[in-house]
Amino acid sequence: MGLLNSIKKTMGGEAKPAPVATEKKVEATKEAKPVANKIKLGHVHLSGCTGCLVSVADNYLGLIKLLDDYADLVYCLTLADVRHIPEMDVALVEGSVCIQDKESVEEIKETRKKSKVVVALGSCASYGNITRFARGGQHNQPQHESYLPIGNLIDVDVYIPGCPPSPELIRNVAVMAYLLLQGNADQKALAGKYLKPLMALAKRGTTACFCDLMNDVINQGLCMGCGTCAASCPVRAITHEFGKPQGQRDLCIKCGSCYGACPRSFFNFDVIPEFEGISEIIAGAMK
Ligand code: SF4
Ligand code: SF4
């Protein structure tokens, strides 16, 4: 966790990171020698539908580029024949934890011990999503009744929300995580800015409610009326009236799902002015 702490310091904690000139950023990408310093990447599959892994794969040639130049896939039960969790730089965890299944509980704890950065990939890992409402009764495993988001059992560093998250978002986070771990000072600062809102989501965990969505997104003029929050609410506490979400607060169970699903909740004001430079960096990295 020492490295992660230094990353958090690089991000400046509460303080804003120093601005990075776009020219410098592009230069910095050209200087990078990714092949020599590949990071160890793992995919840990808990109780989920594998949709997030499919979204990773939907990067097509982009995924090949990532695995060629930036990351070695050292653990992935679906794609690699490795049975024991190895040391990893970045662990992408898909799915929630079934707390009646000792193996799953041990697996997530082991993942935390052996990973520098733990990423909750998708809404099941981040918020429990639909598994939060599973109540057992499945033919082969009727004892499996309760599922928790991984943040309820371990510290999580980054959330990538979505059901599933978009391939583009996963790719961007992968490139930025690489720069955070292996980049020069400018690259680290920029990656820190990009990841800051996703780290803030992880810090907030599942405590958000509709009022947070109202305060941080709708009242800031950021809502684009996409309806994702309403679709993600497990208790149908959100409806759409006149193109904008309306919450029934007495129904809200404060699960945080709408907040994490909203594409504007992790689009903060620190990142907006940097977005062009970030896009250039990512495009440069994927060439
Ligand atoms: Fe949002 Fe619905 Fe969860 Fe409340 S219950 S936090 S409105 S998703
Ligand atoms: Fe607005 Fe976010 Fe809900 Fe979309 S998900 S309607 S942007 S609050």
Nearest to 238 by CA among 269, 211, 215, 217: 211
Q: Are residues 110 and 250 in the same domain?
A: no
Top-confidence range, 18-22, 49-53, 200-204, 254-258: 49-53
- State residue 160's pLDDT score: 93
- The answer to whether residue 24 is domain-embedded is no
Least confident range from 14-18, 131-135, 249-253: namely 14-18
Across-strand partners of 118?
91
Mean pLDDT in residue range 105-113: 98
**Rounded CA gap, 214 and 247, in Å?**
9
- The answer to whether residue 90 is domain-embedded is yes
- The answer to whether residue 230 is domain-embedded is yes
Q: Are residues 73 and 169 in the same domain?
A: yes
- State residue 11's pLDDT score: 44
- The answer to whether residue 110 is domain-embedded is yes
Q: What residues are in contact with ligand 2 under a 6 Å CB criterion?
A: 213, 217-218, 223-229, 245, 262, 264
Residue 3, Cβ neighbours under 10 Å: how many? 12
Return all residues near 84 (Cβ < 8 A) that are at least 6 apart. Answer: none
pTM for this prediction:
0.82
Q: Are residues 161 and 180 in the same domain?
A: yes
Using 50, 70 and 90 to split pLDDT, how confident is the model at 268?
A: low
Q: Are residues 49 and 89 in the same domain?
A: yes
Query: pLDDT digits over 224-256, tens only?
Result: 999 999 988 888 999 998 889 999 999 998 888
Q: Are residues 158 and 111 in the same domain?
A: yes
- State residue 107's pLDDT score: 97
Q: How many domains does the chain have?
A: 2
Q: Are residues 126 and 245 in the same domain?
A: no
Q: Are residues 62 and 117 in the same domain?
A: yes
- State residue 275's pLDDT score: 79
Indicate the angle between helix axes 2-11 and 167-182, nearest 10 degrees.
100
11 vs 37: which has the higher pLDDT: 37
Least confident range from 88-92, 131-135, 218-222, 231-235: namely 131-135
- State residue 83's pLDDT score: 85
- The answer to whether residue 12 is domain-embedded is no
Nearest atom in ligand 1 to 251's CA? 5
**Rounded CA gap, 29 and 34, in Å?**
10
Domain encompassing residue 248: 211-261
- State residue 16's pLDDT score: 38
Nearest alpha carbon, ligand 1 atom 2: 233
- State residue 271's pLDDT score: 72
**Rounded CA gap, 221 and 213, in Å?**
11
What is the 249 CA–ligand 1 centroid distance (Å)? Answer: 9
The token pair that represents 93 in the structure block: 């965890």
Using 50, 70 and 90 to split pLDDT, how confident is the model at 10?
A: very low
Using 50, 70 and 90 to split pLDDT, how confident is the model at 114?
A: very high
Using 50, 70 and 90 to split pLDDT, how confident is the model at 141?
A: confident
Q: Are residues 198 and 224 in the same domain?
A: no
- The answer to whether residue 11 is domain-embedded is no
Least confident range from 6-10, 84-88, 177-181: namely 6-10
Query: pLDDT digits over 29-55, tens only?
Result: 434 444 448 999 999 999 989 999 999
Residue 218 belongs to domain with CATH number: 3.30.70.20
Q: Are residues 140 and 239 in the same domain?
A: no
Indicate the angle between helix axes 275-285 and 22-31, nearest 10 degrees.
20
Q: Are residues 111 and 250 in the same domain?
A: no
Q: Are residues 181 and 216 in the same domain?
A: no
Angle, CA 206 vertex, CA 17 and CA 271 arms, to 5° = 25
Query: pLDDT digits over 165-190, tens only?
Result: 999 999 999 999 899 999 889 888 88
Percent of the chain with pLDDT over 90: 50
Nearest to 55 by CA among 170, 159, 150: 170
Nearest atom in ligand 2 to 232's CA? 5
- The answer to whether residue 114 is domain-embedded is yes
Q: Are residues 48 and 81 in the same domain?
A: yes
- The answer to whether residue 2 is domain-embedded is no
Which H, E and C letters describe 64-94, residue by residue?
HHHHHHCEEEEEECCCCCCCCCCCEEEEEEE
Ligand 1 binding pocket mutation candidate from 210, 211, 216 (most atoms within 8 A of CB): 210
Q: What residues are in contact with ligand 1 under a 6 Å CB criterion?
A: 208-210, 232-233, 235, 237-238, 247, 252-258
Residue 112 belongs to domain with CATH number: 3.40.50.700
